[in-house]
Amino acid sequence: SGGSNSSQGRSIATAQPAQEERLVVAVRVRPSMEAAERCIEVVSGGSLLYDDGGKSRPRQYSYDHVFRENDTQEQVYKTTTAPLVRDVLNGLNAAVFAYGATGSGKTHTMLGPVPRKKPQTAPDRPPATASCEATDVSSLDIGLMVRAIEDIFSHIESAEADTCRVSISYLEIYNELIRDLLNPGGPLELREDHRGQRITVAGLSEITTASRKEVVSLLMKGNKARTMEPTAANQTSSRSHALLSITVQARTPLGTKQGRLFLTDLAGSERAKKTKNRGKRLQEGAHINRSLLALGNCINALSGGARYVNYRDSKLTRLLKEALSGRCKTVMIAHVAPESKHRDETKNTLVYADRANSITTKLQNSVYIDEFKDFPTKHYQSLVSELRDEV
């Protein structure tokens, strides 16, 4: 009852500084992999029916948007992320995060199809990083991260060259350790300013470039540096959270306006027991649960209107604090598989998304900073030219 019958779902309001905003929640149903019994039926652009296998009557869930199996990457981009890009260009912060069990389509949404890796057999091998084989991805399949970058460059291309600056950073959280995906090395530490307000990652590369092609190749290279582990559930399951941040600075007569877009591909939300994890990987499962549990606790607290929300329990929630606590417009895209065998994970995700749907945030005014930040671009010039040679 009470489900939205609009075929478009509710639209995202345009930026109104210091206005109350609800966290926008979308659910995306990935295509069925086989001719199997289904537990999900999409009934409109804003609602779906979930079938628990006949124990009770199918239950309807409503969200801001529900994407069907054959909805395109472009539709998902236009509905969820394109409005945020406009806000970021106006000096606001925004975030999109992809939630769901392994195999539900998170990486497909954020990045597009990723080539499958050969499974490893030895259980105690160190984490593998994907090799750098070329990918041949159809432009229709390109995911939100690249679409957002392309879109930002298209918007600012008309502006004069030295009035806008785009820079990106890309990191992963794996076993509660932060790694720089643009310049892989040892783990990086989180820093807080003296009031505990602003969180930064010490030593994280922030690469500025005027070339959209270069940003895209940096992103692809960064993604190949993501830690991947084979598990019983999915050979290419990603056990890490990946956070891309795109910063846009624009010089205006009032000062420099800065907006930032966070795009996050979360690790699989499934429980550790399902993947028959042993030893090291069981520990990973525990860490992933810790981060996602902390995120879930924050979402519960925020949706219940709690006065105190604990962001400190995990690296993920410390980094996403800004995205969740209101100084940001946030869209969550929850991913579900339609086959009945994934019914339990699907239900967990639908309930999680339902809770997130009642979070209200307060949007901050546009951010002006006095000067362009002194980006350590020289430091990365050799890295960038090295990457250029590889493209």
- Report the interface residues with ligand ADP, using CB under 6 A: 30-31, 100, 102-108, 113, 237-238, 268, 335
Among 107, 109, 277, 317, binds Mg ion (CB under 5 A): 107
Per-residue binding string, Mg ion, 233-272, x by CB under 5 A, is -----x----------------------------------
- Closer residue to ligand ADP, CB minimum distance, 9 or 105: 105
Given the complex with ligand ADP, which of 315 and 335 has the nearer CB atom? 335
Judged by beta carbon, residue 80 or residue 238, the one nearer Mg ion is 238
> Would you say 180 or 339 has its CB closer to ligand ADP?
339
Phi then psi dihedrals of residue 261, to 5 deg: -115, 125
Q: Judged by CB, which is closer to Mg ion: 137, or 301?
A: 137
Instruction: Read off the DSSP letter of residue 96.
Output: E
Task: Give which of ligand ADP, Mg ion, none residue 296 binds (C-beta under 5 to 8 Å, depending on kind).
Answer: none
Q: How many residues does the chain have?
A: 391
**H helices of the chain, where?**
73-76, 82-89, 106-110, 144-156, 212-224, 279-303, 315-324, 343-356, 377-390
> Which of ligand ADP, Mg ion, none has residue 100 at its interface (CB below 5 to 8 Å by kind)?
ligand ADP
168: buried, middle or exposed (CB in 10 Å: 19+, 13-18, 0-12)?
buried
List, edge to edge, every strand of the sheet that includes 59-62.
40-44, 47-50, 59-62
Q: Total residues contacting Mg ion (rule CB under 5 A)? A: 3
Q: Give the strand pairing for 24-29 and 65-67.
A: parallel
Please tell me whether residue 183 binds Mg ion under the rule CB under 5 A: no
Q: Residue 54: which region, alpha, beta or left (left: phi > 0; alpha: psi -120 to 50)? A: left
Residue 105 is labelled as binding a ligand: yes
102 is in an annotated binding site: yes
Binding-site positions for ATP read 100-107
Q: List contacts with Mg ion (CB under 5 A).
A: 106-107, 238
Binding-site positions read 100-107
